[in-house]
Amino acid sequence: MSPKITTELLKQLRQVMKNPRFVQEPVQAYIVPSGDAHQSEYIAPCDCRRAFISGFDGSAGTAIVTEQHAAMWTDGRYFLQAAHQMDSNWTLMKMGLKDTPTQEDWLVSVLPEGSKVGVDPFIIPADQWKRMSKALRSAGHDLVPVKENLIDTIWTDCPQRPCKPLITLDLSYTGVSWRDKIVALRSKMAERKVMWFVVTALDEVAWLFNLRGSDVEYNPVFFAYAVIGMNTIRLFIDGDRMMDPAVREHLQLDSTLEPEFKIQVLPYGSILSELQAVGAGLSPKEKVWLSDKASYALTEAIPKAYRYLTPYTPICIAKAVKNAAETEGMRRAHIKDAVALCELFNWLEKEVPKGTVTEIVASDKAEEFRSQQKDFVELSFATISSTGPNGAIIHYKPVPETNRTLSVNEIYLLDSGAQYKDGTTDVTRTMHFGTPSAYEKECFTYVLKGHIAVSAAIFPNGTKGHLLDSFARSALWDCGLDYLHGTGHGVGSFLNVHEGPCGISYKTFADEPLEAGMIVSDEPGYYEDGSFGIRIENVVLVIPAETKYNFKNRGSLTFEPLTLVPIQTKMIDVNLLTEKERAWVNEYHGQCRAVVGAELERQGRHEALRWLLRETEPLAPAP
């Protein structure tokens, strides 16, 4: 992968930063955040402005360009990738390392006195604006909104904003109708005494209306906003997708409805002016509820005294706790996904020794097997198919320049998942098709111990996920090893593969407590730069636990793995496992056999079934 040459682009950007056609006053720095106007993690090609200007296309990163410098902040998952993709115009700022300055501190250190720092007010979340603006102001600079996006002015071949057809989901998938979701939302609004709720996150719009789309790759969402009043529903969406009879029927657009459930459809681009009108018409005490991560532009549309901002919206919290229909859907999706991966690993075992399987071939084959499963829609993220040293690039995606051939001499790491109409999957397995070294097995076993420590953890109701993060690291830490990413993220139900408000990470503190029905990933890893990467990831469901004393009726929770794919026993050094850990592996593999075995049988996939049976042989005790 050769870096993108950005000298000319940066020159152009620095010109428009001073061009009165685009900026009221010249800006001495311009911030290019990662997200889109909905603060999405995965974005449409037209929103990949940071990748356009820098070449770095990982899912997280912020670019800042000044007259002299260009700097990129990203986290441990992307240090290697960013370093590979960016040319020498760029300085990589490794977030999470002690000596890395914050964006604010860096700006203050490089800017001339009294500078203006520009940013697109639709792209920057209000909470970030506030923090950044305050820090800059206290150092004598100003953060200023630049209405026209400056990257767009130099991006001559910028793709169109997508506007694809919608999918309607019935009750068998969602468990709750959109009307009932609106009722529940309004009751939360009444509790907090707010009159309006602005839905800005794409997955929240999709979840609320039981609709899905494909405007953004991997995330089944569509570009839209919604504004919910106590008696009105406004949906801001473009294109002829509202002409689709199935969608009209689903949203009851042509039915005679109680007025409070009548959906008013408005153009996507009219959100700001409509919201400004709402803001202008508020009586005292009429509050408007927004996420504190909504864009600065939309937040500013509501006068400050009328805003009610929270880090997590009631939709975000409701969406995280899956109901029975959603949980059952997730189970079905994971069984199908396991079938596809048993097929894949069986196939790889035969093909890898021939030396013809590259990372891209393996990745395509995984997609092929998945697409054979019922209700398959698309992948849930770009497959990380990586062998040998590529495995140490935490969010690697194989491209022709880096595409490596799988061999019997290297570790292979596959982190992949799919969107099925009944659920979203995300699984990582680390395999060796030859004979792993003692060191590789040692590291793999520590990672496995960490995985089990989280998966089998028992904890009281009300515990926040971040408190479980160090369980995943303990075995690694004992030997002086660690990994520079969180241990788990929330997973949507046929929605975004990364969703809030829960997770398992040392980096957050403001996560909501885990509760039964939430779904998160459990994915510790270990990465040896230049050599190999190891990660073991299951998606797990939070369930009530049985404990001897049950926290004096406060209640106990634990996890149940939804992912049911064998963990390669060849990679395990059984001597390093405790008796309990060995029993966990055997019990897990027993589940894989019973549940996925039955489905393989049903689908007539006998060879993959034989592979599954062999791979799930119980581990014998250490000699």
Which residues bind to its own copies, rule: CB under 8 A? Answer: 98, 138, 305, 457-460, 462, 464, 467-471, 473-474, 477-482, 506, 509, 513, 547-551, 554, 556, 578
Least distance between its own copies and beta carbon 141 (Å): 13
Q: Three-state SS for 570?
A: helix
CA 577 → CA 457, 472, 522, 533, 565, distances in Å? 16, 14, 18, 21, 20
Please identify, using beta-carbon distances, which residue of 480 and 623 lies nearer to its own copies: 480
Sign of CA dihedral 231, 235, 240, 246: negative
- Measured in residues, the chain has a length of 623
Task: Find all residues with CB under 8 Å of 15, minimum gap 6, and list them.
Answer: none
Query: Which of these, 414, 523, 426, 501, lies nearest to 219 by C-alpha position?
Result: 426
Q: How far is residue 400's CA from residue 124's CA, in Å, rounded to a whole number? A: 34
Please identify, using beta-carbon distances, which residue of 145 and 544 lies nearer to its own copies: 544
What tokens does 591 get?
Answer: 């589940």
Least distance between its own copies and beta carbon 480 (Å): 3
Please identify, using beta-carbon distances, which residue of 209 and 584 lies nearer to its own copies: 584
Please identify, using beta-carbon distances, which residue of 249 and 478 lies nearer to its own copies: 478
Least distance between its own copies and beta carbon 524 (Å): 14
CA 531 to chain CA centroid, nearest Å: 27
Which residue type occupies 323?
N
Least distance between its own copies and beta carbon 513 (Å): 8
Please identify, using beta-carbon distances, which residue of 138 and 435 lies nearer to its own copies: 138
User: Strand pairing of 70-74 and 91-94?
Assistant: parallel
Sign of CA dihedral 396, 398, 404, 408: positive
Least distance between its own copies and beta carbon 344 (Å): 32
Which residue type occupies 186?
R
Least distance between its own copies and beta carbon 305 (Å): 8
Q: How far is residue 186's CA from residue 197's CA, in Å, rounded to a whole number? A: 9
Please identify, using beta-carbon distances, which residue of 463 and 569 lies nearer to its own copies: 463
Least distance between its own copies and beta carbon 550 (Å): 4
Q: How many helices (H) and strands (E) does the chain have?
A: 20, 28
- 344 φ, ψ to 5°? -60, -50
What are the residue ranges of helices labelled H in 352-467? 359-371, 438-455
Please identify, using beta-carbon distances, which residue of 400 and 530 lies nearer to its own copies: 530
Q: How far is residue 210's CA from residue 253's CA, in Å, rounded to a whole number? A: 14
Please identify, using beta-carbon distances, which residue of 155 and 446 lies nearer to its own copies: 446
Least distance between its own copies and beta carbon 442 (Å): 9
Query: Which of these, 430, 426, 445, 348, lies nearest to 391 by C-alpha position?
Result: 430
* H helix or E strand, kind and range, residue 10: helix 7-16
Least distance between its own copies and beta carbon 307 (Å): 9
Least distance between its own copies and beta carbon 194 (Å): 12
Least distance between its own copies and beta carbon 568 (Å): 22
Least distance between its own copies and beta carbon 81 (Å): 19
Please identify, using beta-carbon distances, which residue of 469 and 523 lies nearer to its own copies: 469
CA 567 → CA 18, 364, 442, 534, 537, distances in Å? 56, 21, 15, 12, 10
DSSP 160-227: PPP-PPPEE--HHHHSS-HHHHHHHHHHHHHHTTEEEEEE-SHHHHHHHHTEE--SBTTB---SEEEE
Residue 534: strand pairing partners: 526
Query: Which of these, 565, 555, 509, 490, lies nearest to 535 by C-alpha position?
Result: 565
Q: Three-state SS for 290?
A: strand
DSSP 519-560: EEEE--EEEETTTEEEE-BEEEEEEE---SSGGGGT-EEEEE
Q: How far is residue 287's CA from residue 264's CA, in Å, rounded to a whole number? A: 21
Please identify, using beta-carbon distances, which residue of 259 and 530 lies nearer to its own copies: 530
Please identify, using beta-carbon distances, which residue of 197 and 223 lies nearer to its own copies: 197
Please identify, using beta-carbon distances, which residue of 16 and 514 lies nearer to its own copies: 514
Please identify, using beta-carbon distances, which residue of 53 and 457 lies nearer to its own copies: 457
Please identify, using beta-carbon distances, which residue of 104 and 599 lies nearer to its own copies: 104
Least distance between its own copies and beta carbon 458 (Å): 5
Kindly compute the dihedral angle of the four CA atoms of residues 566, 588, 330, 507, in this order, to the nearest 10 degrees: -90
Least distance between its own copies and beta carbon 348 (Å): 30
Least distance between its own copies and beta carbon 535 (Å): 18
What are the residue ranges of helices labelled H in 372-422? none
Please identify, using beta-carbon distances, which residue of 458 and 622 lies nearer to its own copies: 458
